[in-house]
Each structure stands twice: as C-alpha cells, then as structure tokens.
A and B are shown apart, each in its own frame.
Chain A
Amino acid sequence: MTFLEAVRQKFFAFLIVLGAAMVLSSVAFRFLDFGHGELKFIADFGFGGMFLFGSILAVVMTAQLFFAEMDNRTALTLLAKPLSRAEFLIGKFFGVWMILGLFVIILSALLGLVLWGRAQELSLLAEQSGRVAPDFSFRGLGIFAVLQWLRLSVVAAIVLAIAAAARTFLFAVILGALTVVAGQLQWIAQDVLLKPTESMLYKSILWLTSRILPNLQQFNIGDALVLDSGTVAATSIGWVILSGLLYAAAYLFLGALVFRRREI
C-alpha cells in the first residue's frame, strides 16, 4: 500500500526525472572533467545524482508517507485493526524501501547505459590511436546500486524513527536532512578521534555520535567498484552491508519503541 501510494506521487516522478536528467546530461558536461578520465567524470556525475536526489527522496518521501497517515487520520482506521504499531512502522519502511529500490535501479540502469555507450565510443578512438581503451564494470555498478539502496534505506529508517517521535512533518524533514549531512561528514569525527591532542570529553562525544549515527561515506565506493574493478575486497563490501543492515534494524526498532507510546 505504501509503495502504491508513493509510486503514484508526482514528487517521486519529479525526482526520477531530475536524477535521470543529471545522469544523461553527464555526457554533455564531460568536457568539465577536471583532468580525470571521461568515464570517471560520467560515473561521478551519476553517483552524485543518485546521492542527492536519492537522499531527498529518502528523507522527504519517508516523512511525507508517515505524516500523511497521521494527518489524514488513515492511521486511525489501520491501527484500530489487529495490527501492531511495529508492524505499521515496518510496513511503512518496506514501502519506502521498495520505492528507493525502484529509484536506484532506474538511475543505475541509465548510468550503465550512458557509461556503456561512451565506453564504446572511447574504445573505437583508443583503437585508432593505439592506446588502451578505458573500461568499467557492470558488476561493480550492480554492487554499487545495492550499496546505494542500502544507504538510502538506512536514511529512511532514521527518518522513520525521527517521525515516530516528531509532531510535524517539517521537523522530521529538517532533522532527517541534518542526519544525512552528519552521516556524510563522519570522516571529520574519525579524523579527530585519531588525533592525540583533542580533549577526552570532546573525543568521547565524537565517539558516541559516530556510533549513534551511521557513517554514510562508507557506501560511497562507486569509483573503486565501477572503474577500478577488483580493488575492493569482498569482505569490506560485506562489512559495509552488515553495518547498513544493523543500523537500519536498530533505527526501526527504536522507531517502533517510540511509536508504541505515541497517541494517535
């Protein structure tokens, strides 16, 4: 139901169109490659679109779908059925999870198509000039898509936990967006923790927040997976997936605990 509701929304279509436009336009902007290879530029452009619009989708759509149930009072009808609060929240999560999956699959497929097309052209040019043709990995792109789906799912779980406690849609969206930014900047906390000069109190606070908030940067290994295939160990990918699953489960559990006490 949540998926059907979400997929019908113009907001979803709008973000898909924006993301697709960003991926497709990467070919036109490839002259701005800042000295990197063309495929790397196209891939980075696509990864950026997926990250930006995917994050907006995960934060706004999750909060919107939750608060639509509260504000339109459809939750009254549903929760008067023999349906637990946890089941309701998990249902919302999986609806959002499916819509995020659709988003990632569409953009990844488009990115793969653009990369493949340009790689074909570059191969011809390389053959003519006797240079090594640039290449990319479809398998790596597939793994990257799975990691992005997981990253966005973690964000959705966090936003659901926030929404379960929040009174307004706006509060949930703002706090959710801040959480995404904090998750992306985890490397600053990691850097500080490694420095011996910082105070113990400061380091303790950073250590705690770095455990509470997931390190969303760990999912951004697109370059290594797609362009430098084979440079990322399977165990590293496994740990990233495990960490994402644990964070998503922990935030869903927290959300369910908070939502149990909410007055509808």
Chain B
Amino acid sequence: MDRSRLQRVSPHEWRIDPTGPMRVPAIIFADEALIDAMDDKVAEQICNVASLPGIVNAAYALPDAHWGYGFPIGGVAAFDPETDGVVCAGGVGFDISCGVRTLLTGLTRADIEPLKLALADSLFHQVPVGVGSRGKLVLEFAEMDAMLQGGAGWAVEHGYGNAEDLPRVEEAGIMAGALADAVSEKAKIRQRQEMGTLGSGNHYLEVQEIIEISNPSVAASFGLRLGEIVVSIHCGSRGLGHQVATDYQREMAIAMPQLGITVPDLDLACAPIRSELGARYLGAMRAAINCALANRQIITHLTRRIFGHFFPQARLDLLFDVSHNTCKQEQHRIAGRTRSLFVHRKGATRAFGPGHAELPPALRKVGQPVFIGGSMGTHSAIMAGIGDGEEHAFASACHGAGRQLSRHQALKLWQGRQVVDDLAARGIIVRSPSSRGVAEEAPGAYKNIDAVVDAAHSAGLARKVAMLAPVVCIKG
C-alpha cells in the first residue's frame, strides 16, 4: 500500500484523514510489513465506506484486510439510526453469518494419530462438502420458516446437538428480529437441500492440535490444553444467504436515488436503517444468520456422531460459535454516551471483552473467544476479546489470515494434487472433492497468519490465547 496518504498513529494503527465525501477518517490496523503488502484497493474501499451516511467514529480495516467488493474483507463500520445511518448489504457480504465454531474433544494427538486416515475419510464422506453437495435434511417452506426464526435453537429442537450448546453460540443460538417473510421464495428454494453442508471455497472442517498456549489462564477458562485436539467448522448460510444478499443488493441499488443516497461504488448500495427497505433487509439478514447457526449446529451433530464412532469417550463440547459476516445492533460508548449502533463486520469477528453482558456466564470473566482461521497447512489461532478492543474497532478482531494472492495467481503456482501430497508428507490429511479448489486455497495464497495475529494482539483488538495446527482438513 502506498503510505503517502497514511498517517501513522501508533506502531499498529494508520489513519487516513477525511477528504472529499469522507465523513469520518479511515483507520487501518497493521504492522509495517502488513501495510506494505496490503493492496491499495483496501485503502480506496475503506475510504469509500467512510463516506456512507450516519457512519460513526471511523471506518476500520483489520490486519487481515484485503480487496473485496464495496467493503474490503476485514472491514468494520458502525451506523447510527439517529443520524440517518444506513444498513449496507455489501457491508455484510454474500455469505451472511459465515463463521467458525470450535469443539473441544479432550483427545490428544496420540489418540487421533492411529485413526486419522479413517477419521478423515469418514468426515469427508458423511459431511456434505463441495459444489453441488446436498444435505440429508430437505426443508419445505413451513419448516424452512421455522428454521429461519429459530436458528441453532431450531436445530437442537430437531435433535441436532444439545441444549447446552446454545449459550455457547452468539445470540444464544437464536438471532432475534429475524423475518422469514422477508426472505424470498427463491432464497428458500436455493436452501432447500443445503442444510448441513459445508460449501466450497475457503470453507472447511478441520481437526486441529493445540500447539501453543500464549495465555494460560484464559486458555484454561476456554478448556484449551496443550497437545489436545479441537475441531473447527467454518461455513455460513449457504445458498439462502447468497440469495438474500443478491436480492437486497439489487433492491437497494435501484432504490437509492429515491432514498436520496449516493455512493461511490454500487456495491455500497444501502438504505436508511429506519426505512421500510432497511428494516426488511435487516429482518432477512437476521433470518440468514439463523440459517447459518442452524447449519453449523447440524454439522456439529454429524461431527459428533463420526467422532463417537471412533472415540466413544469424546464429548465434543462447544467452545463457542462466532460469525464474521454480519450486521448487529449493539450498544457502544461513544464520547461518554451510550449509543445503539448497527455494526457491520465483513470478514471481521465480534470480540467482546471481559464482563460484556452478552457473553454467557462461563465466558464473561475472560472475554469472548475469537477464531482466526488458517488454510489447510497453516496454523489457526484462538484469541480473546479485551475491554480495550471496544475503543478500537467497536470490539472487532480479524477473521483469518487474509489472501495475499488471487485465485488465478495461486493456480499458476500450485497444483491441487501436489498440495495434498506435500501436506500429507507433513502429517496433514486433506480430503477435498476439488483439486482446483485446493490449489486456489493453497496455504501460500494467504498472508502469514502469525503476523496477522501478532498485529491484532499488538493493536489491542484481541489477545492471543492459543495456536492450532491442522491434523485433518475437510476442504470445500
């Protein structure tokens, strides 16, 4: 990134002062190496976000930020309905409520190692993954609507997982304010056979070993022990979320002239939070969040069943489930006053600090778990929200390493079969229906996750707790 526009505020914070249509500054969290490697388009896009009506404080880009559409991936912005703030479908993204949940197995690497090939094959064959895959559960409209209102709670009612899981899911597993009626028939048809599917691209189910503990007391509170195995599931609201985004992006773009809104990029199409369209989108988007929560709950059930076959003693308790493509109404202290804001996080994870009222009692003392996903051969990280994070980016932290190479560049450098073989030589078993998909998602296509996690930690967005190394990866 060209540093000429940037003012360095601290070793991990860079500021672009408002110019032209920008209403607030743009803030980028990164160290020197990350900022130099970051695409100039991130600065352009985050400055565009800073021009949206009703934005509060600043538009933020996190250390894993990369070029997206409308918002950069790794972008955060909050809007106040009291000041004509907007809701922006492109600020949430197509994969609404894409997120990660992590399960604690209590097993060790030694337990897993002799069975990992059979475990990988079983997970690959029983958890639907890849383009065109279907879930075993087919939802008709009435049941679909119940799922869209009930989220993970609906899934538990239908035998997928346990009631004890729900407090460990954001919103206690049920996103309030969902409007199933605001979701189009097309979106519901698209989802009909996709419940309990991982999808493709960067989505995965990974069996991981805890290889480093940075914060022993928080790790202990999370139930993380060195050398033990966890399972992380990364996926979202599947076709339903994609269609909700498509439908409302179009409707907002067409309605903007009548709403008196102009934006520098059509992918920032938006509507006032207090408009009929804005309220309808929020209802549909919240329904899509419930779809994602139900989806991850069903995959959790499948995962437990498979682990139960190999390891009858393993419980697979849920550590937490947190989304990274959302718009949430939250209370934040701004200049000494509590304001109710609509916080957009696109490729950004909510990271509530200790004491936050929305955290379940078991986590309230230490802060919310934050999951930073890797890519097959790379480490993943578990961080924790901190109180100071509230001041930096509305309690938000990064969500992954962030791409450094495009899919085209990755395809020129790697072949899927070779990636799988190289990882197998390192003891990492990858199962995927798509050789090309594996090449596009090759570990080298992503930034150094250690640098991203260190930058997030040093910038005060969240604190490091543990690092995870992949053992088995089921890749979409």
B partners with A: no
Give A contacts to B, CB under 8 Å. Answer: none
